[in-house]
Amino acid sequence: MLLRSSVDVLSLKLNRKLCSCIWLDTLTSLRWDRGQDFCPSRSRGHQSTGEQGGSIYSYGPYPQLSPSSESLLAEKMIQCVQAMLYLSVLVAFAACNAPPVPLDDILIEKTFVPEQCVRAVKVGDYVRYHYNGMFPDGKKFDSSYDRGSTYNVFVGKKQLIAGMDKALVGMCVNERSLIKIPPHLAYGKQGYGDIIPPDSILHFDVLLLDVWNPEDGVQSNTYHTPSTCSRKVEVSDYVRYHYNGTLLDGTLFDSSHTRLRTYDTYVGIGWLIAGMDQGLLGMCVGEKRIITMPPSLGYGENGDGSDIPGQASLVFDVVLLDLHNPRDGITVTNQILPESCTRKTVAGDFVRYHYNGSLLDGTFFDSSYSRNRTYDTYVGRGYVIAGMDEGLIGVCVGEKRTVTIPPHLGYGEEGTGSKIPGSAVLVFDIHIIDFHNPSDKTEITITHKPEECDKQTKKGDFVKYHYNASLMDGSSIDSTYNYAKTYNIVLGANQVVPGMEDGLMDMCVGEKRHLVIPPHLGYGERGVTDEVPGSAVLVFDIELVEMEEGLPEGYMFIWNDEVSPDLFTEMDTDNNKQVEPSEFTDYIMRQVNEGKGRLAPGFDPYRIIDNMFSNQDRDGDGKITEAEFKLKADEAPHDEL
Q: Mean pLDDT throughout 10-31?
A: 40
Judge if 349 and 368 occupy the same domain. Answer: yes
Judge if 382 and 339 occupy the same domain. Answer: yes
Task: Tell me: pLDDT of 235 over 50.
Answer: yes
Torsion sign over Cα 551, 557, 560, 564: negative
How many residues would you count in the chain?
641
Q: Return the exposure string of 477-492: e unless at least 16 CB atoms fall within 10 Å of the residue's CB, then b.
A: bbebeeeeebbbbbbe
Residue 626: pLDDT band (50, 70, 90) is: confident
Which of 254-263, 554-563, 613-622 has the least mean pLDDT?
A: 554-563
The pTM (predicted TM-score) of the whole model is 0.70
Long-range contacts of 152-158 (CB under 8 A, 24+ apart): 152/126, 152/127, 152/128, 152/310, 152/311, 153/126, 153/127, 154/124, 154/125, 154/126, 154/127, 155/121, 155/122, 155/123, 155/124, 155/125, 155/126, 155/127, 156/122, 156/123, 156/124, 156/125, 157/124
Residue 73: pLDDT band (50, 70, 90) is: low
Task: Tell me: pLDDT of 482 over 60.
Answer: yes
Judge if 349 and 316 occupy the same domain. Answer: no
Tens digits of residue pLDDT in 365-420? 999 999 999 999 999 999 999 999 999 999 999 999 999 999 999 999 999 988 99
Judge if 350 and 377 occupy the same domain. Answer: yes
Q: Is 485 part of any domain?
A: yes
d(CA 338, CA 591): 59
d(CA 247, CA 211): 11
Whole-number pLDDT of residue 67:
56
Task: Tell me: pLDDT of 11 over 50.
Answer: no
Judge if 195 and 227 occupy the same domain. Answer: no
Q: Is 53 part of any domain?
A: no
Task: Tell me: pLDDT of 23 over 50.
Answer: no
Q: Dihedral angle at the C-alpha atoms of 152, 154, 157, 159, nearest 10 degrees?
A: -10
SS3 257: helix
Q: Is 635 part of any domain?
A: no
Q: Is 42 part of any domain?
A: no
Residue 58: pLDDT band (50, 70, 90) is: very low
Whole-number pLDDT of residue 75:
67
In CATH, what number is assigned to the domain containing residue 575? 1.10.238.10
Judge if 424 and 337 occupy the same domain. Answer: yes
Q: Is 93 part of any domain?
A: no
Judge if 513 and 474 occupy the same domain. Answer: yes
Whole-number pLDDT of residue 89:
47
Judge if 401 and 354 occupy the same domain. Answer: yes
Which among 324, 357, 372 is the end of a domain? 324
Domain, as residue range, for 592: 557-625
Tens digits of residue pLDDT in 510-541? 999 999 999 999 999 999 998 999 999 999 99
**Helices of type H across 249-385:** 256-259, 274-279
Q: Is 8 part of any domain?
A: no
Task: Give the whole-number percent of the chain exceeding pLDDT 70.
Answer: 83
Tens digits of residue pLDDT in 174-203? 999 999 999 999 999 999 999 999 999 999
What values do phi and psi take at 290, rounded to 5? -100, 125
Q: Is 261 part of any domain?
A: yes
Which among 324, 352, 368 is the end of a domain? 324
Judge if 231 and 275 occupy the same domain. Answer: yes
Whole-number pLDDT of residue 72:
58
d(CA 442, CA 397): 17
Q: What is the 3-state secondary structure (H, E, C) of 306-332?
A: CCCCCCCCEEEEEEEEEEECCCCCCEE
Query: Per the structure, how many domains does the chain have?
Result: 5
Q: Mean pLDDT throughout 457-469?
A: 95
Residue 564: pLDDT band (50, 70, 90) is: confident
Judge if 587 and 613 occupy the same domain. Answer: yes
Between 363 and 640, where is the model more confident? 363
In CATH, what number is assigned to the domain containing residue 114? 3.10.50.40
d(CA 176, CA 208): 7
SS3 287: coil
Which among 193, 212, 231 is the end of a domain? 212
Torsion sign over Cα 224, 226, 231, 236: negative
Residue 80: pLDDT band (50, 70, 90) is: low
Whole-number pLDDT of residue 566:
86
d(CA 298, CA 246): 12
Tens digits of residue pLDDT in 25-46? 443 343 334 344 433 333 333 3
Q: Is 427 part of any domain?
A: yes
Whole-number pLDDT of residue 292:
98
First vs last C-alpha separation in the chain: 131
Q: Which helix (H) or strand (E) holds 128?
A: strand 126-134
Judge if 457 and 534 occupy the same domain. Answer: yes
Judge if 256 and 196 occupy the same domain. Answer: no
Q: Active-site positions?
A: 131, 141-142, 161, 187, 204
* Average pLDDT of every residue of the chain: 86
